[in-house]
Amino acid sequence: MKTTFLDKIEQFSYKIGQQKHIIALRDGMVLTMPLILVGSLFVIIQSFPVPAWEAFLTEVGAMSYLGGLITGTFGIMGLVAVFGIAKRLADSYKVDGTSAGVIALAAYLVLVPLQEGMMSTGYFGSRGLFVAVVVGLITGELFRILIQKNIVIKMPESVPPMVAKSFTSLIPAFVIISSFAGIDLLFKALGFTDIFQVMLVILAEPLKGASNTLWGALLAVLFNSVVWLFGVHGGQLVSSIMDPVWFMNTDANREAWQAGLELPFIVTKPFLDNFAWLGGSGASIGLAIFLFFFAKSQQNKALGKLAIVPDIFSVNEPMLFGFPIVLSLDLAVPFILTPLVTATVSYLAMDWGLVHKTVGIMIPWATPPIISGYLSTGGHISGSILQIVNILIAVAIYYPFAKRIDNRMRKEEEEAAG
């Protein structure tokens, strides 16, 4: 059977999505999500925009206590990520992932600069994510190579397995931790204060700057939609690459909001989840509403009843594979165009000050629209209004395309019925 161009694109996208390092990066970042969600809940409690509530928390001494809870969640994102990335990568090679994660964590801490003899905890959180990604991936690879090359201490068979496993990791741990210590000394000899400064100059700031532009946001949205059309989970693929940047932007907004400063970033994780991708990839809530309220085909009516509730909670797989959108050109145009328009409208609305920016609160991605817009903007009704506008835009873009398909399917049903 002849392989078509679309087949080749699908195969290429699938290979990227299954690449071990991409998966390790994605899963390592996912490991931070429970902390981020719980921390966001504490932020909402501490910063709920009601003066009487804030006064009450201050009076009972809860403000500082909540601050400690926030630091204990958001403040260790980098540590959790470096462990998770190294562990997941080592696991994929069928070697001891837990040991690799612990070694990566130790190597990361070796790189953290000292201030007056004390370790700077500021790099435990989102500020250290880029270094965490690099250390996690390198450690996972080095650990795998050393183990598979048998550069280990082998114990007699009489030694209990758990004890033997600890000794097996000794040489890899020494090599990896010493290597990162040497890298740290090298950068200091070159005049840098630490490796975090190097990463900030070389990668973090350029990527953060590009990610916060309208064009940067649109590129991520476009890529997400295109790979979904070929059956590859666009959300997972894009997030595995961009989440470190978006999480840094998100946390920077949280810190600014809590300090009463101007929010520095428009494009954050909540911006994309709650305003660009309403209903999931492709801003498919517009299609779900059409199927539920306007479809005439019996098949589409049934799909609308099945899909509307999950789509409100950003679960759109019933439509992606049931309508279908995946591997079909019928709805490719609105599936690509709609999130580009909603992202553009949302970006400009926030840039012009018509809608409050997202404040760094990571609410669950399945939170329904209107509620998520209100919460993600720190209790501003403008966020909910923008979501309503975006839903109407999504319906308007999907309507003519879905209507044409629905009419065709209705005629086919009538002909089949005789």
In terms of average pLDDT, the best of 163-172, 256-265, 386-395 is 386-395
Residue 4 has pLDDT above 60, yes or no: no
Residue 280 has pLDDT above 60, yes or no: yes
| Cβ within 8 Å of residue 332, ≥6 positions away | 229, 325
Are residues 386 and 271 in contact, defined by beta-carbon separation less than 8 angstroms?
A: no
Share of the chain above pLDDT 90, in %: 44
Measuring CA to CA, how many Å separate 34 from each of 29, 77, 101, 365?
Answer: 10, 10, 18, 12
pLDDT value of position 307: 85
- Which stretches within 31-189 are classed as H helix? 33-47, 51-59, 62-74, 77-92, 97-111, 129-148, 161-168, 170-189
pLDDT value of position 418: 65
Are residues 24 and 93 in contact, defined by beta-carbon separation less than 8 angstroms?
A: no
- What confidence tier does 1 reach under pLDDT thresholds 50, 70, 90? very low
- What confidence tier does 330 reach under pLDDT thresholds 50, 70, 90? confident
**With the CA atoms of 357, 358, 359 and 362 taken in that order, what torsion angle do they form, in degrees rounded to the nearest 10?**
180
pLDDT value of position 14: 60
- What confidence tier does 67 reach under pLDDT thresholds 50, 70, 90? confident
More confident residue, 235 or 151: 151
d(CA 360, CA 412): 49
pLDDT value of position 93: 94
pLDDT value of position 39: 83
pTM surpassing 0.85?
A: no
Least confident of 23-32, 278-287, 296-305, 322-331: 322-331
Rg of the chain over CA atoms, in angstroms? 24
Task: Read off the pLDDT of each residue in 141-156 and give the average, rounded to a whole number.
Answer: 89
- What confidence tier does 100 reach under pLDDT thresholds 50, 70, 90? very high
> Minimal CA–CA distance to 77: which of 143, 129, 144?
129
Residue 13 has pLDDT above 60, yes or no: no
Residue 6 has pLDDT above 60, yes or no: no
More confident residue, 375 or 74: 375
Task: Read off the pLDDT of each residue in 102-115 and give the average, rounded to a whole number.
Answer: 92
Task: Read off the pLDDT of each residue in 244-260 and give the average, rounded to a whole number.
Answer: 89
Task: Read off the pLDDT of each residue in 194-220 and give the average, rounded to a whole number.
Answer: 78
Residue 49 has pLDDT above 70, yes or no: no
Are residues 384 and 269 in contact, defined by beta-carbon separation less than 8 angstroms?
A: no
Residue burial 26-43, b: 16+ Cβ < 10 Å; e: rest: bbbbbbbbebbebbbbbb
Tokens of 355: 């809608």
